[in-house]
């Protein structure tokens, strides 16, 4: 039975906004990341307006109570996990598309709008919202902004931050800030919009976003190539893009991932293929030439088979294979999902390095990802009931991040640092950059109430300086 009368926020917000039912709190206490701790929250606030968010943060700032902002909790870095005694601030009820302006090609939306629903609303007005994370059917725009999410189309169009023109944000003390602009260009003052994108709710809580749209996308055509060696697939990526082509998607799947997908959908993959690439072009009459270029590049890199789909429906079937990867992986066992991004020229070193790490740590590592950006998603599969195997999986996870950094890459391409990788941020950033980020956090959140324990490593935590250091 819910008994919310004792919590002070109950008297400050509308009836039904503050919930302390243990079952509800438990259901909202974590996102989809594994191996990230979650504390026991005090209450859940379901905000319905900017005023609700401002009231909640103002009270929390005054009393030094941590607040964890949440969207759909589809993230993979633990950024939405509860901390002990916190207020969970859910923005799912703030889910309106406030305006779509076809002339200016912008949308004004609340943070709880689901990515795919915004795409549908834009399409009804002859427009296109390109960022398309794999979770687009469930993830919210607020969460996409919090992680600066990418997706399959980012090789051509860019990531979420490339489409955020302005934000309405509630600061840690409850003040409301507007950043950016609605115009196509504007450089007045510091770029606070870009600062807030990707900050995982540690600097402020987004309550409105002005997003750029594009003219309606042409129906894409698709091609797929299979390879006897994953190194050949990686070489084909560099060859194709190096020739000047810019597909709207260029995706990679290794053999174990292909087998996992085939286990839930019969898509006719060759049994002997070691890897595959899926390419799309949405350039209308020019799409055929783009895919011919892909076929040439794949053939020159020892592709065993190349298929160019003749119609968009067949292409949709091919892309469905890539979108099924997450569901297929979940059937295999316990998972540690990584996302390292490396220069495209080092993709071969990454995928071959993963094979070595799999053998070294005696765990299975699968890999798929956005090859066109070098943003790959290695997945460590293990038995969570086996303590020794779990420890090896954690070491393998850290070793993947170490490999990505040694190849000139980054520890996260789109999932964000959150709680999962914050000890590694000190390894990626130089001391001055880490100092600057901590200074920004202290300035905007002097009492440390906004999503504490996320993104930035503890000042006395040496783990970020230790290659391959396990979190366990």
Q: Residue 417: is its pLDDT beyond 90?
A: yes
Give the residue-averaged pLDDT of 244-253: 95
Residue 318 belongs to a domain with what CATH number? Answer: 3.30.70.2190
Q: Give the end of a domain, one of 90, 124, 153.
A: 90
**d(C-alpha 289, C-alpha 284), whole Å:** 10
Residue 365 belongs to a domain with what CATH number? Answer: 3.30.70.2740
Give the residue-averaged pLDDT of 338-342: 95
**pLDDT, position 461:** 58
Q: Residue 63: is its pLDDT beyond 50?
A: yes
**pLDDT, position 469:** 40
Total number of domains in the chain: 5
Print the domain residue range for 161. 97-215
Give the residue-averaged pLDDT of 312-318: 82
Q: Where does the pLDDT of residue 161 fall: very low under 50, low under 70, confident under 90, or very high at 90 and above?
A: very high
Q: Are 318 and 365 members of one domain?
A: no
Q: Are 136 and 205 members of one domain?
A: yes
Q: Are 174 and 232 members of one domain?
A: no
Q: Are 27 and 69 members of one domain?
A: yes
Indicate the range of 160-174, 430-444, 446-460 predicted with least confidence: 446-460
Q: Where does the pLDDT of residue 6 fall: very low under 50, low under 70, confident under 90, or very high at 90 and above?
A: low
- Give the DSSP letter of residue 381: E
**pLDDT, position 311:** 81
Q: Residue 1: is its pLDDT beyond 70?
A: no
SS3 226: strand
Longest Cα–Cα distance of the chain, Å, equals 70
Give the residue-averaged pLDDT of 276-287: 94
Give the residue-averaged pLDDT of 370-388: 95
- Give the DSSP letter of residue 159: -
Q: Residue 463: is its pLDDT beyond 60?
A: no
DSSP conformation letters of 235-303? HHHHHHHHTT---SEEEEEEHHHHHHHHTTS-----TT-SEEEEEEE--GGGHHHHHHHHHHHHHHTTE
Q: Are 199 and 227 members of one domain?
A: no
Mean pLDDT, rounded, of the chain: 92
Q: Are 399 and 428 members of one domain?
A: no
Residue of 59 and 471 predicted with greater confidence:
59
Q: Where does the pLDDT of residue 265 fall: very low under 50, low under 70, confident under 90, or very high at 90 and above?
A: confident
**pLDDT, position 186:** 87
Q: Where does the pLDDT of residue 466 fall: very low under 50, low under 70, confident under 90, or very high at 90 and above?
A: very low
**pLDDT, position 315:** 83
Q: Are 210 and 102 members of one domain?
A: yes
Q: Are 227 and 210 members of one domain?
A: no
Q: Residue 467: is its pLDDT beyond 60?
A: no
Neighbours of 306 (CB within 10 A): 20
Asked whether residue 298 is assigned to any structural domain, the reply reads yes
CA atoms within 13 A on the CB side of 26: 3
Q: Are 104 and 206 members of one domain?
A: yes
Residue 39 belongs to a domain with what CATH number? Answer: 3.30.43.10
**pLDDT, position 162:** 96
pLDDT in tens, 30-50: 998 877 889 999 999 999 999
Give the residue-averaged pLDDT of 116-139: 93
**pLDDT, position 5:** 52
Characterize 227-245 residue by residue with b for buried, 16 or more Cβ atoms within 10 angstroms of its Cβ, and e for exposed. Answer: bbbbbbbbbbbbbbbeeeb
Asked whether residue 411 is assigned to any structural domain, the reply reads no
User: Which residue carries 């607040």 as its tokens?
Assistant: 67
Asked whether residue 398 is assigned to any structural domain, the reply reads yes
Q: Where does the pLDDT of residue 460 fall: very low under 50, low under 70, confident under 90, or very high at 90 and above?
A: low
């Amino acid at each position: 039975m819910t008994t919310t009368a004792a919590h002070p926020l109950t008297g400050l917000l509308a009836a039904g906004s503050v919930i302390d039912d243990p079952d509800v709190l438990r259901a909202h206490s974590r996102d989809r990341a594994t191996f990230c701790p979650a504390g026991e929250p005090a209450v859940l606030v379901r905000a319905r307006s900017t005023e609700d968010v401002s009231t909640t943060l103002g009270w929390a700032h005054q009393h030094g109570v941590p607040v964890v902002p949440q969207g759909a909790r589809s993230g993979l870095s633990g950024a939405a996990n509860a901390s002990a005694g916190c207020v969970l601030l859910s923005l799912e009820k703030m889910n309106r598309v406030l305006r779509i302006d076809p002339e200016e090609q912008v949308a004004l939306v609340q943070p709880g709008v689901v990515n795919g629903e915004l795409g549908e609303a834009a399409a009804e007005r002859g427009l296109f919202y390109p960022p398309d994370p794999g979770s687009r059917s469930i993830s919210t725009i607020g969460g996409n902004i919090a992680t600066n999410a990418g997706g399959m189309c980012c090789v051509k169009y860019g990531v979420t931050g490339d489409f955020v023109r302005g934000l309405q944000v509630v600061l840690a003390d409850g003040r409301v800030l507007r950043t950016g602009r609605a115009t196509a260009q504007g450089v007045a003052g510091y770029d606070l919009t870009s600062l807030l994108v990707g900050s995982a709710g540690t600097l402020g809580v987004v309550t409105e976003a002005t997003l750029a749209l594009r003219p309606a996308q042409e129906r894409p055509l698709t091609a797929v190539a299979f390879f006897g060696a994953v190194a050949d697939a990686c070489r084909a990526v560099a060859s194709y893009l190096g020739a000047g082509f810019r597909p709207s998607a260029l995706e990679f799947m290794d053999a174990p991932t292909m087998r996992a997908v085939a286990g839930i959908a019969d898509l006719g993959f060759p049994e002997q293929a070691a890897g595959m690439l899926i390419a799309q072009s949405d350039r209308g009459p020019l799409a055929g030439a783009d895919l011919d270029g892909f076929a040439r590049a794949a053939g020159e890199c020892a592709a065993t088979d190349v298929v160019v789909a003749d119609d968009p429906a067949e292409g949709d079937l091919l892309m469905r294979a890539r979108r099924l990867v997450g569901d297929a992986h979940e059937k295999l066992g316990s998972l540690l999902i990584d996302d390292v991004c490396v220069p495209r020229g080092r993709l071969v070193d990454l995928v071959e390095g993963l094979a070595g790490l799999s053998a070294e740590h005696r765990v299975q590592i699968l890999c798929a990802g956005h090859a066109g950006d070098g943003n790959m998603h290695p997945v460590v599969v293990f038995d969570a009931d086996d303590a020794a195997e779990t420890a090896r999986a954690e070491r393998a996870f850290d070793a993947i991040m170490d490999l990505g950094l040694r190849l000139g890459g980054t520890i996260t391409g789109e999932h964000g640092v959150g709680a999962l990788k914050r000890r590694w941020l000190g390894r990626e950033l130089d001391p001055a950059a880490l100092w600057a980020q901590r200074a920004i956090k202290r300035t905007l959140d002097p009492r440390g109430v906004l999503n504490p324990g996320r993104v930035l490593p503890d000042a006395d935590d040496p783990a970020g300086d230790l290659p391959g250091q396990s979190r366990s």
